Amino acid sequence: MYSATPLYINSIGLCNPLGGNAEEVADNLFSGSQKGMQLREDLLHDDKVYVGQVTKALPDLTGYPKHFQSRNNQLLLQAYLQIENTVNELKQRFPSSRFGIILGTSTSGIAQGEIAMEHKLDAATFPDNYDYRVQELSNPAEFLSEYAKLDGYVTVISTACSSSAKTFISAAEMIHAGLIDVAIVGGVDSLCGMTVNGFSALESTSAGICNPSSKNRDGINIGEAAALAVLSRQKSSIRLCAGGESSDAHHMSAPHPEGEGAKAAMVQALDNAGLTPKDIDYINLHGTATPKNDEMEGIAVATVFPSSPFVSSTKGSVGHTLGAAGATEIAFCYLALQHQALPPQLWDEVADPAIPKLNWVTASSQLSNPLQYCLSNSFAFGGNNVSLIIGLEHE
């Protein structure tokens, strides 16, 4: 993704365990809150598990077609309402056919499918309010297109944990190609039993709240979230500088141990942005708190960035939000640039000696210079890797 014509993030909308809007999220993110990490007894078949849960009251979808009535779409609408004014302003400049909607998700409305299946096992029939289309991957983008009254390009990307990071690159390519003028990008995923039990079966879930990069880490917490951004050539304070993608295909679920794919994505992002490693002030790590991911990413970051920018994983704040993770975490970078503040690394500070020493953000970390550029990593099953760089616009 590279073009001499700059693209800008005109606004963002957020809903995640830290809050129901961007300002509330920022307040809790920078203060190191873990208020949304909740112990649930109803998601695993045989155990309790910590998850990142949204506690905000969500928009009511009663009156919409039943295949759009899902918690996933409630989260999505909560995020969209925060960017709606920006979209409406851009509608005055561009026809609705020139807007694209490109979202990432991994489970869509599968939670409603789980409820319906339980009902069918008890009553031998699905409930009247269930429509199988609620769990199709395309559902959130179709819902948003209908709600926003946009009739341009609509699609969903589902590449596990890199899904919503890829939406930024796909949208940029379409704008640069002249196919659309404005893109609504991001991702959404809601909690469901299938995902939590799946990661538990892989022995990847943490017994407590996750502990990224610690010697004592034992796995992830699944979370739920929605994150949206408006991309266009309309100038604003924060620019989408570039993205990098790679697919090392090392293993179906394990990352390349030396982080070869991660390195390639970060280097490509830097090259496409016309930046050097020294230009990056902060990196939001993928930082899942699983042994192999954190070790691999630490090696990759230390190799590509010997200048030691600030780094942190924000999974301890919201959990791993899967299809929404990439967009959520680049939004955290957006908030960092906007507020000139750093999201702290929430962990026990017992560093794993197998991970190279990195410049962790702590509660006492101070910026010696203003933040200019931030990078966010998203790494997915199958070795699908994405790095995004955003930065302040310079006059």
Contact 115, 263 (CB under 8 A): no
Contacts of 130 (CB under 8 A, 6+ apart): 66, 112, 113, 115, 116, 119
DSSP 91: H
Transcribe 131-145 into DSSP letters. -GGGGSTTHHHHHHH
pLDDT confidence of residue 251: 67
DSSP 345: P
**Six token digits for residue 316:** 């301890």
Structure confidence by residue, pLDDT tens digits, 25-70: 999 999 999 999 999 999 998 899 999 999 999 999 999 999 999 9
Residue 210 appears among annotated catalytic residues: no
Structure confidence by residue, pLDDT tens digits, 187-232: 999 999 999 999 999 899 999 999 999 999 999 999 999 999 999 9
Structure confidence by residue, pLDDT tens digits, 146-166: 999 999 999 999 999 999 999
Closest alpha carbon to 44 in 203, 159, 161: 203
CA distance 225 to 14: 8
Buried-state track 86-109, b at ≥16 Cβ within 10 A, e below 16 = bbeebbeeeeeebbbbbbbbbbbb
Contact 227, 331 (CB under 8 A): yes
Strands (E), the chain: 7-15, 37-40, 49-52, 99-104, 154-157, 182-189, 225-232, 238-247, 282-284, 310-312, 359-360, 373-380, 384-392
Average pLDDT over residues 105-114: 94
Q: Which residue out of 256, 320, 333, 374 is catalytically annotated? A: 320
**Six token digits for residue 37:** 């990490």
CA distance 354 to 294: 10
User: How many CA within 13 A on the CB side of residue 53?
Assistant: 13
Residue 333 appears among annotated catalytic residues: no
Least confident residue range of 94-108, 250-264, 291-305, 337-351: 250-264
**Six token digits for residue 175:** 């704008």
Structure confidence by residue, pLDDT tens digits, 343-366: 999 999 999 999 999 999 999 999
What distances in angstroms separate CA 392 from CA 50, 125, 328, 332, 371, one per listed residue?
Answer: 36, 55, 18, 14, 8
CA distance 386 to 268: 10
Q: Write the secondary structure of 279-308 as one string of H (helix), E (strand) and C (coil).
A: HCCEEECCCCCCHHHHHHHHHHHHHHCCCC
> Does residue 259 surpass a pLDDT of 90?
no
Residue 286 appears among annotated catalytic residues: yes
**Six token digits for residue 109:** 């409305």
Q: Map out the domains of the chain with their CATH numbers.
A: 7-392 (3.40.47.10)
Q: Tell me the pLDDT band of 236, cut-offs 50, 70 and 90.
A: very high
The pTM of the full predicted model, rounded to 2 decimals, is 0.96
Neighbours of 47 (CB within 10 A): 12
Q: Which residue out of 192, 210, 286, 333 is catalytically annotated? A: 286
Buried-state track 317-354, b at ≥16 Cβ within 10 A, e below 16 = bbbbbbbbbbbbbbbbbbbbbeeebbbbbbbeeebbee
Mean pLDDT of the chain: 95
Tell me, rounded to whole angstroms, the distance of Cα 71 from its chain centroid.
17
- Angle subtended by helix axes 260-273 and 291-304, to nearest 10: 40
**Six token digits for residue 49:** 């598990």
Q: Which residue out of 161, 192, 241, 374 is catalytically annotated? A: 161
Name 229's bridge partners.
Answer: 12, 185
Q: Tell me the pLDDT band of 254, cut-offs 50, 70 and 90.
A: low
What distances in angstroms separate CA 39 from CA 36, 212, 221, 223, 321, one per listed residue?
Answer: 10, 18, 10, 12, 16
What distances in angstroms separate CA 219 from CA 198, 347, 360, one per listed residue?
Answer: 13, 13, 19
